[in-house]
Structure 1
Amino acid sequence: MLKILGKSSSINVRKVLWTCAEIGIPYDLEQWGAGAQATNTPYFLSLNPNGMVPVIQDGPATLWESNSICRYLAGKHQRVDLLPAEPLARAQVEKWMDWQATELNNAWRYAFMALVRRSAAHEDPAAITASVLAWNRHMAILDAQLANTGAYANGATFTLADIVLGLSVHRWMAAPIERPQLSAVDIYYARLSERDGFMQHGRNGLP
């Protein structure tokens, strides 16, 4: 059985759990991370030298980086609806996955750490304001894309891009910040909420 190492409250672990729910993959979840088993131990670092969750063990294979894990699971189970086989169609999905992991995540990180995690290392008011502005600006990019497709991030059908972006949308919705009205994002959030996997692992009360 697939083993997932990571805290079930982690946004990146929840990407993997939601992917498993969409595909119907059984798994064994071991709690690792803050408040659970420490990730700075020699054993965990031998699995992921970055000391970050999630990590999966699938038979003899070990893999880390949440978006890569989601791609692997969709590919292994031949879910071309989630991750197309045709190179350009696949790249279009992966484009939004990569944008989520780099551009969008980097925009919200400081504000989230300051306002939600209450991190003592993130108390600069100017940096918080800049992060919120960048966060909202990136969400407006997503809103424009969703208005263009009329459904999901990459078009008319649900893909892996919507798993990773859906968790980010929930985080934005739950954050104690001033948000612009983004009607396409609101509709998208409601559409994702019709999926059991999102309600269990995305819109589950966790930021």
Structure 2
Amino acid sequence: MMVLWGRLSSINVRKVVFTLQLLGIPFERREAGGTFGVVRTPDYLARNPNALVPLLDDDGYTLWESNVIVRYLAARDADGGLYPADLRQRFDAERWMDWQQTTLNGAGREAFIQLVRTPAEQRRQAAIDASVAATEPLWDMLDVQLAKQPYLSGQALTVADIPIACEMHRWRGLPLQHRSRPHLEAWYARMIALPAARGVLDLPLS
């Protein structure tokens, strides 16, 4: 059985859990990171020298970096349909995954840190405002993309949708005014309706 280290309060761990559940792969999750510790132990560092979560162990093969783990799982289970066989469609999906990590996550992270993980009396409104200003146009961009097709990379669910759905879960959970974006909202409704989303996209932020 696969072993996954990481706490579910981590967006990056949620990506991997969502993928495992979508593919129906049995796994054992072990709490690690944050208040659970573990990540600085010699055994963990030997597997992941970054001392971060998630960490996946597939029969002795260890892998870290959340989006890479998602790609690995999807490629490992080709019948699951998450990793397009067509080369161009596959790299279109991968492009959205990288965009989530390099652009969307960076824009919205500070609002999450300030509003969820920072005591109210220590919050910096300027940091929240800057994060919101950087993130809102990115959701607009996604709404335009999803007006063309039901999923980010075409007509079917792929690896592209997983990290962005986890990002959307985090953003929608923040106590902010959220503008109406009908195509984005319809896509997210499809994502949270998936049985595999249970225990991932229905969790409160922490």
After TM superposition, the score normalised by the length of structure 1 is 0.92
- C-alpha change, 1:205 and 1:127, in structure 2 (3 Å) is closer
Counterparts of 1:1-207 in structure 2 under 5 Å? 1-79=1-79, 81-118=81-118, 123-149=123-149, 151-206=150-205
Identity within the alignment, %: 40
Q: Is the 8 A contact 1:48 1:55 kept in 2?
A: yes
The question of whether the paired residues in 1 share the 8 Å contact of 2:15 and 2:66 is answered with: yes
Q: Deviations over 1:157-197 (max 9, x none)?
A: 11111111111111111111222221111111211122011
The C-alpha deviation readout for 1:91-127, integer Å capped at 9, x for no partner, is 011011111111000000111100111169x843322
- Give the whole-Å Cα distance in 2 for the aligned partners of 1:55 and 1:119: 29
Q: Check the 8 A contact 2:104/2:135 in 1, yes or no.
A: yes
Structure-2 separation of matches of 1:35 and 1:86: 42
Distance, in Å, in 1 between the alignment partners of 2:73 and 2:35 is 27
Q: Is the 8 A contact 1:113 1:119 kept in 2?
A: no
Provide the C-alpha distance between the structure 2 equivalents of 1:199 and 1:70, rounded to a whole number of angstroms: 17
Separation of aligned partners in 1, 2:124 and 2:200: 32
Q: For 1:136, what is the secondary structure of its paired residue?
A: helix
CA RMSD of aligned residues (A): 1.7
Deviation at 1:77, TM superposition (A): 1.3
CA contact (8 A) 2:116 2:205 kept: no
Distance 2:132 2:158 in 1: 27
Separation in structure 1 between the aligned mates of residue 155 and residue 87 of structure 2, nearest angstrom: 18
Q: Secondary structure at the match of 1:179?
A: coil
Which amino acid in the other structure matches residue 77 of structure 1? D
Aligned to 2:29, the other structure's residue is in SS state: strand
Q: Distance in 2 between matches of 1:127 and 1:37?
A: 28
Number of equivalences = 205
Residue 34 of structure 2 aligns to a residue whose secondary structure is: coil
Q: Which moved more, 1:95-104 or 1:170-179?
A: 170-179
Runs (4+) off by over 3 Å: none
Distance 1:201 1:140 in 2: 24
When structure 1 is superposed on structure 2, of 59-68 and 193-202 the one drifting more is 193-202
1:113 alignment partner AA: I
The secondary structure found in structure 2 opposite 1:201 is coil
